[in-house]
Structure 1
Amino acid sequence: MSTPKTTMAGPVNLTLPEGDPNPVAGCRQCLGVAVTRANARSVGDYSKATDTNVVLRTHLREDHGAE
């Protein structure tokens, strides 16, 4: 019997994560999400900070036409 292969064939190439989306100046909703993100980070809640990035990206795409 042959021994099953337990390693991958080659290296895994990962990219750096995207940076934080920037709020649009003058938009109250953008500002609110950015403040929530800053507050989450200040108490070490990085899961919530990541969630707010998703919310902000969705808002930017839907309300500001960002891609």
Structure 2
Amino acid sequence: MSEKSNGGASYFVTFIDDHSRKVWIHLLKSKDQVLDAFKEFVAQAEQSTGQKLKCVRSDNGGEY
């Protein structure tokens, strides 16, 4: 992607809840920020629901 967002992000990662189909998008300046974005997402999801995350599913893409 050659275009950047207003905040300077060049990449994004999406997290989708399979049950509710709710989507969260995190903008990233570099690909190495994915792990931090995932940890932030898990903490936010667990805090808002009061339950632990049970399963994570990936598309097996090796880009991260």
TM over 0.5: no
TM range (shorter): 0.3 to 0.5
Higher helix share: 1
Structure with the bigger RCO (C-alpha within 8 Å, sep 6+) is: 1
Larger Rg: 1
What TM-score, normalized by structure 1, do the two folds share?
A: 0.37
